[in-house]
Structure formats: C-alpha cells, structure tokens
Amino acid sequence: MKKTLFLISALCAGLPFYAQEKPVQSLDSVYIDAKVERPRKSSGKVVTTISKETLQQNAGMSVASLLNQVSGIEINGARSNDGQNLAYYIRGGRNRQVVIMVDGVPLTDASQIANDYDLRLIPTETIEKIEIIKGASSVLYGSGAGTAVINITTKKAAKKPISATFSSMVGTNQSAESDSYRLQQFTNSASVNGRLGGCFYNAQFGNRYTDGLSAIAAPEGEEAFESDVFNRFNGRINVGYRFSDDVVMSQFFSFDEFKAGFDDFSYTDAEHRSITKQLKTGGHFEWRYKNGTYVFNDSFTWLEREIESGFPAKYESDVYSMDTYLNHQFSSNFSVLVGLNVNLSSVNTFTIPFGETDFVQALDEEEANFNIIDPYLNVLYETDFGLQLNAGVRLNNHSEYDSKFVYNVNPSFLVETEALDYKILGSYSTAYITPSLYQLYDPLYGNLELLPEENRTIEGGVELSGENGFRFSALYFNRESSDYIDFVSVDPEIGISQYRNIDETFQTDGVEVEVANTFFEVLNFQANYTFTQPDKRFALRIPKHKVNASFGYSLQQKTQFGLTFQYVSDREDSFFNPDTFEQEITTLDAFSLLNANVSHPINEVMTVTFGIENIFNSAYEELYRYQTRGRNVRLGVTFQF
C-alpha cells in the first residue's frame, strides 16, 4: 500500500522525486498562514520570520537556539549540551503538538515516543529562512499542528553557472564553572551550486563537533563529570530543471547522522550514547498558470536510532509524507485552495530483555503502522474596504480511527493610513493530534484504546505597521485541550504504567507582544514579551514570563554589530529522586543572558564573524541538574565565490 501510493502520487506530479525550488519571497511577505504568498499586512495571523540576515549574523547557533528567541516559544535543552534532547514548549504545549516542515513537507519521526521531528538533525548552515505560525493549524498542516508550525526553507542555487561557499567556525564549549576557554566546538560546511540554462543544482556538506560539556552537572563541590561529545554529519544534493517561469521540478537526496553522549537518569556520570541516522529523498513540482498555482511536495524518510545505555534499544522507521494542493484565484478578492495531505508511517523496535545479551524484536512494522490521508479546503476572501477572511476545513482520515473534521476561521480588518496600517485580527481553530505508534503499540506501555487528542485555540489581537520596518503587535490566546494523552501509573504497587487519555479539559492562556523598528537607517531594534499561564499539570519548565530583545547596528553598511538579551522567569521542574524512589518538585531560578556578535566583510569573497555567548557568565539551570553553557566565544570565516 505504502509503495503503491508513493508511486501514484509521484506520477501525478510528473516526476518520481522532486526537491523544492521556489521563487524567493520578499522580506515583507508571508506564506505559511494560507500557503499563498501575500503581503504581511494582509495576513490575519502574526507570522514570525527568521531571515537570511539573522541567520548569517548568528552563525554557529543551532536552529533550536534561534527559535528560542521567538515569542511564545521555549525550547528546553537549546542552552545545554549540543546532544541534549529538545522539548518544544509552545503556548503550554508539548513536542507532539508542533509540526516541523522542511521545504513545505511536514516531517515526523515514527521512532519517537511523541512522533515529533528532531531539530538536532537540521544544520543552520543549510537554511535560507524560517517561518513560524502559532495556534491550532491542522486545517492546512494536519495532525500534530496544535500549538505551532515551523517551516524551514533551505538555501537555493545561485543564478550564475557555478558558485561556492565554504565556512568554518571554531569556539569554546564550557559551563559557567569553567574558565579554560579551550577550542572545543567546530562547525564546517561547504556548498557548490549554480544554474546552467534551465538546470539548477546545489550540493552541500557539513559537520558539527562539540566537546567539553557534560550532559549532567556534577554536584556542587565535586569535580566536573566527563564531557559528552556531539558529532553530526549532513549532506544534501538538489538537482532540478526550470522549464519556464511557470513550471519547475527538482529532486533531492540527503543524509544526516549524529552521535550524542549522555549521562544516566540517576544524575550520575555515564558513557551512554545515542546514534541517529537518517536518509531522505523527495521534492517539489510547481506549475503556475494564469489564475493559480499547483504544487506537489513529498519526502520519504528512512531513520535508524540506537540507544547505548543500561537500557539498550534500536528503532527503525519509515515515513512517507506528501502534500499537494491547487490554489485558484477566482477574482482579485477571492481564492480557493484544495489539497491532499498523506502520511504513511511504520516502525520496528528492538530491545534486550532483562538477563539476556541479544536484541529481540519488540515491535514489527507489519503491526506497528498507520496511514493518514486528509483532503482539505481553504478559502481566502479580501474585500476592498479592509475586511479579510481566511477559513478552511480538513477531513482527517486515520487508518485506526473514525474520520474527524477540523476547522479554522480567521477574520481580520485592515485600516491603511499615511502614517500607519492598523489591523485587528482574530481566529478560532481546532487541531487533531493522533497517538504515535509507540503510544499505541509498545508492548509495555502502549494502549490500543487511546483516543486522539483534540485542541482548540482562540486568538485576538492588533498589529500596527509603518515605515522604517516599524511593527507592533499584541495578541491574546486561549488554548483548550481534551482527551490529553499522558503517561500515568495504572498500578503503583507493582509499578505498572501506561499511556491513557485524561478525562479532563485543560486550558492555557497567554499574551504575546512584539515590537520592531529601524532608527536612522542603521539601528535595528526588536523585542518580544510572552506571558504563559498553563494548567498546573502542564506548567513544568514553562516560564510564566519571557523577554527577548535584540539590537543591530550597521557601520558604513558593512560591519554588523548585534546584541541579544533574554530573560526567563523561574519555573517548576520535576525529578526522580533515586534515594526515595519518588517524583519530586523543585523550582528553577530565573535567569538572564546577554550575547553579542560582529560580522565584517574583508572583501567581496571573505567575511569574518565573531560572537560571545552569555557575556556575564551566568550560572543557571533550564532542566534540573543538567549542565548549561557559560561564557563562550566563537570565531568564523566564510568564503563565497
């Protein structure tokens, strides 16, 4: 079934595999909220974009670290050892409520407990820009889009026949307690790309290696634990052909692998290691005609994970994702988008039973698999007097469940004046989050009686925009979750636990405020504040208050200086006490971080970057007893031919 549908879908687009090659969007346009490029001021959502310039100025930072500067987002683990597992806390949600997309294709990992995609696999050096939309977005992006969609667009080929970019960065990687300043972080990447007539190509390779920082922090007064190494390799090849300004198709193949050391859950030093290997292929076909656009995006992912610890395990998963849609413009004010989203997932798992030495298969893909095939419809209506409506519906068809409709209604009203544009916006949207294969089929903890989780988000706010890049927005949201899937104790006396639906409705309220402006054409300022009030059951590790601010200064339009500030209020965390064998609650103190970066082009070919992280060497925790990075410096050079 999986292979047959994969081939049929590919033939419908005219070529078996394609990789994306889209026209570059303008800086003041958004795409993610309606899958149609349009001016930011016309969008009924507050869309955040991490631009190419921001990525260049923060060279050496991880994707998770960059996302941590966006309002409403807290990615736990981004400030720790590079190999630390990442938890996506967005609007009080969890990993399984966030959709990660690369070049228009939603990505999942069937080998993960939450079916979430691992951002550690994605190197920053391959990214052109990142768009983020928050709130329930299942109509356009399917199961899992409960709190946010993060769309990552990879770099495209240069317009000349051959272009090459080589970059190398070295830096320190130490905690606040260390002052050795040894070079223990190395990031290298190379890209060769170009266009020959209608043909275009892009070949990229990268490596990131970090040492010097332990996953677990040693108890106060004791010698630091041994460092846990993170080592990642990535490669990607894109080849395609542009038949005309209206028709383009392309193909990609990529591999990603990382090895990450980690310590024992009992907060003791250990030589554990996780190994993840990924192969991926797929792509893009696009046809623009007089009154619309047809798009076909897909990817096929083979992923293997191995855990080397006191509880060794192996996982093998296959995931095919396809999203195809036709957007037709019936008039200058009215357009309709009709699409089909497919996800086919399967997993094999292997464990070593207690007292034995060899792996045995715990789950077989013949049993542990599901298919999701969802048609969806979205309409966009814009009046001549400022009223706009973005609304849609999706029919979720899951092989294990009955069909389910999800909805989105997003009205907004725009008033344009000579000085400022004023926009009032609101939305009501629902999401449908199906259980993962692990939660359904795991022989110890799985539960075939699980129901899908349902989310509802209500938003309301205002946005002001004007000249010199001025933008101000204030947004209130209320998110409701029912049939929440949690890991609960079934029989505490004999230690039996299982995934169960919670027969309660939980709510999260919050406010997100953003402001940006440019002064004297050389000074850029951006800031955001997030207030999040989740239900107490979900408040762990989520700050009630969070502030981000950045200042950028251009000297003679060449040298770029930047400062970023972040404040995170205190949070509660839970931990397992190995002495009492009980789960306990602790409070993690608030902290502030100040970072600086400088970028200077030596000539038309060579650019030098320098950065300082955690300038005041603040000591803090983002996860109980886990190590975080102290003051660190990095120096990089990029050659572009």
DSSP H/E element including 55: helix 52-57
Q: What is the pLDDT of residue 224?
A: 87
**What's the chain's average pLDDT?**
90
22 pLDDT tier (thresholds 50, 70, 90): very low
CATH, residue 387: 2.40.170.20
> 276-285, 474-483, 571-580 — which is least confidently predicted?
571-580
Give the 3-state DSSP-derived string for 491-534, with helices as H, strands as E and coil as C.
Answer: ECCCCEEEEEEEEEEEEEEEEEEEEEEEECCCEEEEEEEEEEEE
Kindly report, residue by residue over 586-603, the tens digit of the pLDDT. Answer: 999 999 999 999 999 999
Q: What pLDDT does residue 33 have?
A: 85
Task: Dump pLDDT digits (tens) for 293-330.
Answer: 999 999 999 999 999 999 999 999 999 999 999 999 99
pLDDT (average), residues 546-552? 95
**Binning pLDDT at 50, 70 and 90, where does residue 28 land?**
low
Question: What integer pLDDT is reported at residue 492 of this predicted model?
Answer: 66
Kindly calculate the radius of gyration of the chain based on its CA atoms and give it in whole angstroms: 24
Q: DSSP assignment, residue 198?
A: T
Tokens standing for 148? Answer: 């946010």
Is residue 52 very low, low, confident or very high in pLDDT (cuts 50, 70, 90)? confident
Compute the average pLDDT of residues 525-554: 93
Instruction: State the pLDDT confidence band at 375, using cuts at 50, 70 and 90.
Output: very high
The DSSP string of 343-412 is: EEEEEEEEE--TT--S-EEEE-TTTSEEEEEEEEEEEEEE-TTSEEEEEEEEEE-BTTS--EEEEEEEEE
Instruction: Decide: 69 and 48 in contact? Cβ < 8 Å.
Output: no
User: How many separate domains does the chain show?
Assistant: 1
pLDDT digits (tens, 9 = 90+) for 431-453: 989 999 999 999 989 999 999 99
For position 495, what pLDDT does the model report?
Answer: 66
pLDDT given for residue 21 in this prediction? 37
Q: Which residues 6+ apart lie within 8 Å of 51 measured at CB?
A: 27, 129
Confidence of residue 265 (pLDDT cuts 50, 70, 90): confident
Digit-coded pLDDT (tens) for 603-636? 999 999 999 999 999 999 999 999 999 999 999 9
Residue 521's nearest CA partner among 467, 472, 599 is 467
State yes or no: pLDDT of 150 exceeds 90.
Answer: yes
Which single residue is written with the structure tokens 């081939």?
7
pLDDT at 36: 85
- Phi and psi at 437, nearest 5°, equal -60, -40
Tell me the residue length of the chain. Answer: 641
Given this model, what pLDDT does residue 469 score?
Answer: 83
Are 591 and 618 contacting, i.e. CB atoms less than 8 angstroms apart? Answer: yes
pLDDT, tens only, 175-222:
999 988 999 999 999 999 999 999 999 999 999 999 999 999 998 888
- Is the pLDDT at 14 greater than 60? The verdict is no
pLDDT digits (tens, 9 = 90+) for 489-512: 887 666 688 999 999 999 999 999
- The predicted model scores a pTM of 0.91
3-class SS letters over 569-599: CCEEEEEEECCCCEEEEEEECCEEEEEEEEE
Which domain covers residue 254, as residue numbers?
2-640
